[in-house]
Structure 1
Amino acid sequence: MLTYMDYLQNAFYRATSWDPDNSYVNLTATARALLDFPTPRGLKMDLSSLSTPKFGTSYSLSNLGVVDGSVSYLYSSLPLHNVHRSEEVDLHDVTMGYRQLEELRSPDNERFWEVWKGGVRVDGRNTLLFGRMYLPASTLEALYLRRMKPTTQFRITGVSDGRLKSGGTIMAMMQHDFGKWSGEYLYSTDGALIGARGLYNFGRDPRKQPNPPPRTSDEKAVGRFSMGAEFYYGILNKSAGMSTGLRYTTLPTHPNAPTTMTLTLTPLMGSLSATYAIKAGEAASFCSRFDFNMYSYESDLSLGCEVWRREDVEKEDFAGVLKARVSQTSGIGLLWEGRLKHLLFSLGAGIDLRRKDQLVRAVGLELQYSS
């Protein structure tokens, strides 16, 4: 389940009309949500609040052998009116599952962002600030996010920890989203890493054709084919890497069950991965992934699913979701997420069938309350 601060960051994206799904880094987001979901370890409790539409706080306490926790603060220059308390939030907004992509939209006209007063332009650029302090380790995380214009976003993340080399690391990223294609350029102080990645969507260009043409009964199925790649190079350690990927996904106008297929390749490592996910109705999704290494000939097959439970047969709201996955290498993962009165909860366990002496690797429960 997403943390409260991740939920607020997604609310900022919606408020500023930024689409995080139109990025190469989220090319396989559906498969990761159904097959790589984390299971809780130990007991964890989060207490959060949006005290004003622009300021949020979150306090976390966990017990995994030792008692530790964190304190988080978030500020948004844009009021976040699309945020709900834990007792009324839509569970689909705080759980990661099948990602139904929408039609590509044209970026806003930059002139619509201008605000004039007395002949002087007074509009600013929407900004989000976030900080988290882990206790008692005193590790600090920080995020600076700024919308430069309708097609551009600037992002800086940093970690300060005495256990890390040089005491911490900072990564700066410039992101562009033109609808038809997107690009990201990054630099990290960890090894003086530079990188670039991009995603291109075939078919309709929303800048030239804002609205998709009406679909008739004799037209072919409506879907989107995307292709992307990334490249990075470490200046200090003189190491490089790259990957490329393809994705086909059906759109909301598709008459049959939503489907997503991806194929990714990492040439230098020899890794090939193919996924297939389908949403079989409103309450169930299934996914499979086949991984193969061309150098070692090792392979792995992973299967996963999610099943949603309604609060009442007569209501449209969902009360929870059960996730399960099985893999030849990582074993079995079970996760139950939902709402109990005013609390959101995540109950999960990891099972390793290869270890007869300790089948259950980890069991955990996470509770969240927000006001």
Structure 2
Amino acid sequence: MLDFMDYIQLSFAEATHWNRDNSYSSLTTTTQSILDFSTPERLRVHLSSLSTPHFATSYTLGTVGLIDGSVSYLFSTVPFNKLPSSSALIPLRKISLGYRQVQAPTAPIQTWGWDSLLDSVSIPGFKDGKDTKSTTPEDREANKEDEAKRKATLLHASLHLPPPTTLYALFLRRISTNMQLSLAVCSTQGPPQSKSAPQASMLAHLAHDTGKYSNEYLFSTDNALFGWRGLWNFGPDPRYTRDVPSRLSLLSAGAEAYYSPTSSLIGMSTGLRFTTLPAATQVPSPRCSPTSTPTPISTFPYTLTLTLTPITGSLSTSYSLRASPNLAFSSRFGFNVYSWESEMVAGCELWRQSKKSKSEHDDLEWARRKVRMHDFGVSLPGSPASPLLEDPTRSEPPMRSATNNEPETSDSVIKLRVDQSWNVRLLWEGRVKELLVSAGVGLGPGSFSQSPSVSSASGSGSAQSGGGAPGMSYWRGVGVSVLYSS
């Protein structure tokens, strides 16, 4: 489950129309959302609040032997007036990431709005991209909001306690419609007895997205590391075509490279992604004329990825499938050509859709059905028209696609992951009253140890002998995370 501050940052990207999918770093996000989830390691409580439309706070308290926590603050020039910030109203699918449907790439200038086009065109009656005749309060408020999005800035700071304390800071600035700059700083205080200066590092990231392709440039003060990422989308250029959203599939190819002159470190990788787009799952209208060509139907949305790291010889393939709006499967196979080591991971997620309450039940539906059986000439308000009165020439509203047929609310989600070594992770995330709760458990074989406790990536707990081979033990880790926001 995402932290409240991560949820605000994702909302910031959506508010400024920044396409997170059009990046090489997001090439395998769909698979990672299902397979690479983490289970809570202990009891952790999050108290968060969106105090004003521009300012958010978050406090975290965790216990495992020692008590630790963090204090976080966030400021955004873009107001979050209509953003659900209460834990009782936040959509669970927004904060618990699952199968991620990649959207068709669009040119940033199209998603930014007509105000950006007016900035570069001289039109009588307009000044600096704004209508000089728009003097109503609504127009002035809309102009202020557009100006805030055009110069969107986000500031975030988080202080982790107890000592040695660690400070994380983030500066995010939308330079233009297709460029974004971010500066991240991490500073860790030395031991209490040490008088050395805090260890600090900074990461600068400049992203340029045109819709057709994207480039990212990175620099880290740690070992003076330089990096580049690039992604190319095959097909029509969204900057010059308007029918891109009707595409059925998307093929993307990308690469990244890193170099450090101080440590002579070199790294590179490349990858491919093939995914179906939402238009591929739209059901064609039954009233299509015989001469028209219906939209092909893809029963299930799916995503295929292939990544290769030439220097280390690592090859990884993944396949993710969304069998229904509430069920998704994913698998990943990794292989190293130098050592012949392999990895196999499979997982799934199951969402539980909330049932309609009694107040939402229509007590007059039985009467409507009875009337329609005897009177085909009358259609009651709120009931579908009789088939005998349908006009074949009347246009039909577009039907919802299978990928967008998501429940408005979900009570909970269960995620399961297992690898070739029978390491199992089980995660449950849901809403209890007005709290968002995340509980997980990890189970798998481990090396035998005389120590009374063992630790793992999924948690910590006492070592218990299992039914495996002699000299083997099983580790178990259980944790709970609670989030409350107002």
TM-score by length of structure 2 reads: 0.71
Two-structure CA RMSD over aligned residues (Å): 2.3
Does 2:181 align with 1:154? yes
Separation of aligned partners in 2, 1:115 and 1:147: 18
Aligned to 2:170, the other structure's residue is in SS state strand
C-alpha displacement of 1:211: 3.1
Deviations 1:209-231 (A, max 9, x none): 1333758xxxxxx2100000000
Q: Return 278-287 or 198-207, whichever deviates more.
A: 198-207
User: CA 1:163–1:248 in structure 2 vs 1: closer, same or farther (change >3 Å)?
Assistant: farther
In 2, the alpha carbon distance for the partners of 1:354 and 1:313 equals 45
The answer for the alignment partner of 1:369 in structure 2 is: 484
| Alignment match, 1:70 | 70
1:172-187 alignment runs, 5 A limit: 172-187=204-219
Please, which of 218, 222, 239 is the counterpart of residue 207 of structure 1?
Answer: 239
Report if the CA contact (8 A) 1:349-1:360 is conserved: no
8 Å contact 2:421–2:445 — kept in the other structure?
no
Task: Encode CA deviations 1:147-177: one digit per residue, 9 max, x unaligned.
Answer: 0001000000010003599711100010011
Please state whether the residue corresponding to 2:109 is helix, strand or coil. Answer: coil
Residue among 261, 264, 278 paired with 1:252: 278
Q: Which residue number in structure 2 is paired with residue 129 of structure 1?
A: 155
State the Cα distance separating 1:268 from its structure 2 match: 0.5
Superposed displacement of residue 101, structure 1: 1.1
Q: Which structure has the highest strand share of the two?
A: 1
CA shift, 1:341, in A, is 1.0
User: What is the deviation of 1:72?
Assistant: 0.1
The secondary structure found in structure 1 opposite 2:8 is helix
The answer for the alignment partner of 1:359 in structure 2 is 474
Structure 1 contact 182–200 (Cα < 8 Å) conserved: yes
**Higher helix residue share:** 2
Say if 1:257 and 1:330 are closer, same or farther in 2 by CA, change over 3 A: same
Could you give the per-residue CA deviations for residues 167-201 of structure 1, whole angstroms, max 9, x where no partner exists?
Answer: 11100010011111111000000100000001111
Partners in 2 of 1:213 and 1:42 — Cα distance? 44
Identity of aligned residues (%): 44
Aligned to 1:46: 46
| Structure 1 contact 289–302 (Cα < 8 Å) conserved | yes
1:218 corresponds to: none
Tell me how far 1:34 sits from its aligned partner.
0.9
Q: Which amino acid aligns with 1:327?
A: D
Partner of 2:424: 332
With over 3 angstroms needed to count, the CA separation of the structure-2 counterparts of 1:193 and 1:330, relative to structure 1, is farther
Amino acid at match of 2:225: L
Distance in 2, matches of 1:112 and 1:173, equals: 29
- Structure 2 unaligned runs (5+)? 111-115, 120-127, 133-142, 192-196, 281-296, 361-406, 448-463, 466-472
Using the size of structure 1 for normalisation, the TM-score is 0.93
Change (3 A) 1:112 1:10: farther
Amino acid at match of 1:21: D
Assess, with a 3 A threshold, how the Cα gap between structure 1 residues 362 and 67 changes in structure 2: closer, same or farther. Answer: same
1:18-59 superposed Cα distances (whole Å, 9 cap, x missing partner) = 011111001000111111101101100000000100000000
Query: Which is higher, the Rg of structure 1 or of structure 2?
Result: 2
The residue number in structure 1 matching 2:410 is 318
CA deviation digits over 1:218-253, x for unaligned, max 9? Answer: xxxx21000000000012101100000000000001
Match of 2:264 among 226, 238, 258: 238
Q: Is the 8 A contact 1:244 1:265 kept in 2?
A: yes
Confirm or deny that 1:23 pairs with 2:19: no
Whether the aligned pair in 1 keeps the contact of 2:43 and 2:479 (CA below 8 Å) is: yes
More displaced stretch, 107-116 vs 164-173 = 107-116
Q: In the aligned structure 1, how far is the partner of 2:255 from the partner of 2:225?
A: 17
Give the unaligned 5+ runs of structure 1.
216-221
- Who is 2:388 aligned against? none
- Given that residues 285 and 306 in structure 1 are in contact (C-alpha distance below 8 angstroms), is that contact kept between their aligned partners in structure 2? yes
C-alpha contact (below 8 Å) 1:133/1:140 kept by paired residues: yes
Task: Report the 3-state secondary structure (helix = DSSP H, G, I; strand = E; otherwise coil) of the residue aligned with 1:334.
Answer: strand
Q: Is the 8 A contact 1:46 1:59 kept in 2?
A: yes
- Shift in CA distance, 73/39, structure 1 to aligned 2, threshold 3 Å: same
